[in-house]
Each structure stands twice: as structure tokens, then as C-alpha cells.
Chain A
Amino acid sequence: MRKENLLGYLLIAPAVALITFICVIPLSQTILYSLRYYNLTDQANERFIGLENYFKLFSDSKFYDNLANTMIFAAVSVVLQLLVGLTAALLMNAASRGAVLVRAVVLVPYAIPGVIVAQMFSFMFHGDFGVLNALLRQSGILSSAFPFLAKPGWAMACIIITNVWKQFPFVALLLLSGLQTIPAELYESAEVDGAGALKRFAYITLPGIRQMVLVVLLFRTMADIRIFDLVYSMTGGGPANTTSTLLYQAYIFLFKDMNFGLGSAWSTIIFFIILTISLIYLSLFQKEE
């Protein structure tokens, strides 16, 4: 038994050490920085200031705007990803001949970097040269150029659509694996009993993938709260900060303003939001075991 312990520790040591050096130690440093006045452009005045960065953060309306943007982005994204992902999963599960095609369509967005996806969609949403504008004008819905990414509200909608396209594959694949665990006999006997397609969906399919939906919800929420690349390359937080999210703003504080103290306070808050969700997630697994 002792030997087994030693072997275990020896084998996980490199991975644990790396994660400690790159994640755990820097995180504690970030928390320490968040308690200091620490500005690279004003290094002479660096000092410990307690919770002042946090007071400043919580009394700034910018924080609440960014928090609201982030939550709206994450909530709408996750719901839409679930809808598109479930549709794709049902199609993959049902269509025997078309399944290959659906699978290809699902896997392509996964393999494309977020930045590239952002540029693809920026071009499609472009006011003067975008295909969306062209189609809407041709069909008479729009009479003049409409720059989607420069209009408050619309810009957020564009980023959400882009994010849904990039991220639904993960949802689709997870839900598909959930669908495949539902025994076919259940459907067959329900059909014999005269249950229609809708009834079968509501009473067999949905309960069968309930657990998986929960997993997907939490996993995607955590990931979408961390949104950065799409905001960075599609809008830069604009117009008028309507697409600025917590993480993007933290990045601006840290690496544009070089305000390490305040930026670290924002980062610490983001970390704790995600930690809370991940604790829910892990306790969910515990219950399953």
C-alpha cells in the first residue's frame, strides 16, 4: 500500500508541480497585487492599500455594466447553444444516412480558432460589404447599410451568434453521448402504447438527457463568462462599452492601462465567480458517484 502511494505521487508530481507554478502561485500573487496600489506607469508610489481597489471596483458603475454584459452574454449564449446543440444531437442520433454530414458540420467550428471565427463573422456582419446586409437589402428589409457591430444591442447579438456557432459543437457532442445511453426499447414500447413523437420526446428523451443538460449548462456557463477573444477582435468592447465584459475590462486595466492593482482586483472577482460555479459543478459529480 505504501509503495502504491509513492508510485501515485511520483506519477502525478510533474503535472501537479506545473499547475502549481503556472496557476496556483500566480493566482495567490494576483490576490496580493489586488491589495496594493500597483501601476507600472507610477511605480514610485507602489504600496499596500488594503481593500481600496475593491471599494473602488464596487462603487464604479462600470463594474456593474460589465457584470450585466457578461451575464447576459453567458445566459443567452448558453441557452442558444443548448437549442442548436440539441437539434444537432437529435439529427445525428436520428439520421443514419445524413449523420456523417451533420457530424462534419458540427466538428468544423470546433477546429477553427476563436479569433478566426470572429473575423469571419465580422465580415459577414459588415455594414458596407457584409453578406448579411446584402441579403437584407436585396429582400427589401433594409433600405440602407446597417453596421450591426456598431449599433448598441445589435453588437452584443452579433457576438452571441458568433459564440453560439463556435461553441455549439461541444454541446451537441455531449448531448449526443447522452442520447445514445437511452435504450431503444423505451421508444419502441412507448410507440406500441401509442405515444406520439412529442410525447416520446417529453417523457423519454428529455428525462434521459437531463443530467447531461445540467453538465453542459454549468460547463458552458463557466467558459462563456471567460469570453475574451470574440470581444477583443469583433468590437473591442464597443459601441459605448455595450459589449465590454468583465474579463475584457480586466485585460484593458492590466495590459493597456498597466494598472496591475485594480486589474488584479477585477481578475480576483472573476476567479471567485467561476470558482463558485465550478464548486456547484463538482458537487454535482459527487452526487452522481
Chain B
Amino acid sequence: MKRLPFSGWHLVLAPLALLFALPLVWLLVSSVMSNAEINRFPPALWPQGINLGGYRYVLGNALFPRWFLNSFIVSAVAVTANLVLGSLGGYAFARIRFAGSKLVLGLMLATMVIPFQLTMIPTFLVMKQLGLIDTLGALIVPSLVTPLSVFLFRQFFVSLPRELEEAAWIDGCGRLRILVSIVLPLARPALSTVAVLTFLATWNDLTWPLIAINSDATYTLQLGLTTFQGQHHTQWSAVMAGNVITVLPVLLGFLLAQKAFIRSLASTGLKG
């Protein structure tokens, strides 16, 4: 690679980037500090050595592994369901002509403007009727498919040339076959966008778990971390270790699939 000449912009951008990174660096650093280092005044700014006491505590004594599993189950089911139901719905709205499709699509898109606070009390009552309150089901059912997922798939499928599917159609392939074997293999950008947005929304959600879940064994990581902090506000290194565990999957996912993340989020802005 050719070395680029030094630019004066570094003097602006380096401190700026550091400002954004610093809180997360501190999160990582304080998670390996000992309680003694944190609890003295003034607290230490850098640890003497790496102390894994916080991690041992949250992985051994607390329910963090359980919460991690709960969050993982909810996110994994939500992502899978959004990919399956979103692509089915999106494909039908893009390609199949059927009575009422325009009306239903319009209605579904209109629901995107409904703020969550307006639906949260009745949704709670619906979940209570279904006997799902305080189970992971209460978290999974409302996130099985979102209008955004259907919409993103529809927009993507509309942009694909129809000719790709026509040969298979004339050969007698059904719609489902065409979707699975011809359209979806071409739909990687749409699949990754929906997966990223669904994962971010479900993994990071706090409001709905707070309402729908009561017992600590059913907490998600976000809810567990928040409660844990309330109960252990003198054991900051353990709280920060729990925080690292909560943030790590999203952070790793972001660093590994940065392009997909950024494209997904930018696309909500440019097309939305």
C-alpha cells in the first residue's frame, strides 16, 4: 500500500476519535481493576495488574450466564424469524399480485409510525392473556417480524430483475422454490441488513423486558445488568465485568461485520 502523506486533519480527528473511544476503554480497564483500586480515594486511573475477580464473580455467583443465554435465545429466534417471515412477506408484496396486497402493505408500513409507548400497555395485557408474561415467549412473539424487515426485503426484491425468475417459473417451479433457490441466494445484502437491525434491536432492548419479565432467572442481559448494578453498587469492577459481557457480542459483531452494520444503518437513513 502506498503511504499517504501526513495530513493536518489528524490533529483534529485523532483527539476526536479518542474522545469517543475513551469511555469504552475505561469500561474495559475498570473491569479488570480490583475493588481496592476502585474504592480508594481518589480512585486509581490505571490498574496495577489484570484482576479477573469481577469476571469470576459475575460468571460464578451471579446469573449472568443464564441472562446471556436468555438474550441469545431471544435474539437468535427473532433474527431467524425476521429473515424467514420478512423474506416471505417481502417477496409476496414485491412479486405476487393478490387481492388486497396494496392495502395490507400500506397498513403495515403505517404501523411503523406508532410509538412503542402507545402499544406497550395493551401488548402487556395481550401477553398476559396468552400466559406469556414472565417467559421468554413474551419477548419473542412481538419481535418475530417487524414492518421494517418486510419493507426492506420488498424493496430489495423489487430491484431485482424479473428475468432471473422467469425461466424457473416457466419450468414449473413454485413460488417458494423460486424464492429459496433463486431469489434468496442473491439477497445477501437484504438478509444481512435485516439480521443486523433485528439483532441490534432485540439484544439492546431494555424497555419491553423490564415490563414483561419479573423473575430474575428470565431476565435478559440488559435487564440483568441494570438490576445487578442497583444491587451491587459498591462492587464496581464486577458491574463493569458484567457490562463488558453485555456489550461484547454487539461490539464483536460490529467489528467483524462493520461494513454490513454501517450499510444497514445508513440505508435506514437514505431510503427511510
The answer on A and B forming one complex is: no
Residues in B lying within 8 Å of A, measured CB to CB = none
